[in-house]
Amino acid sequence: MAKIIALDYGTKRTGIAVTDDLQIIASGLTTVKTHDLFTFLKDYLSKNDVEAFVLGEPKRLDGSETDSSAHVRGLYKKLGTTFELEVHMVDERFTSKMAFQTMIDSGLKKKQRQNKGLVDEISATIILQSYLETKK
């Protein structure tokens, strides 16, 4: 099997997570500046076998769209056409809060928890793990 990549898109930074080759475990990969995202992905895909993307879909509590929804839809289309891979959307409500709680639970110091890039990476991991669980 090939890997699956998850993206927690933001206008400044995008958190990235990836599965193992057997698609059992999601692990944080990195956080990149959003304007460097496609350069990073092209390089990563040239070195790794990837079968699909999972993209966090921003929603408000009531399920309506957020200010970021249009950006994410644009990314959805661009990912599919640029890389010719499947792109799956996963509800990302509460992932940032879950990521922050994960940081607390793992014993990270306050200074480390202020690293927004790490929050984005952990959020991408949560999005990917959620996708893997629904896929079973």
Confidence (pTM)? 0.84
Give the pLDDT confidence of 11-40 residue by residue, as tens digits.
999 999 999 999 999 999 999 999 999 999
| Cβ(16)–Cβ(124) below 8 Å | yes
User: Taking the domains of the chain in order of start, what are their residue ranges?
Assistant: 3-135
48-106 pLDDT, tens digit per residue, is 999 999 998 887 777 677 778 788 899 999 999 999 999 999 887 666 666 657 656 77
- The top-level CATH class assigned to 3-135 is alpha beta
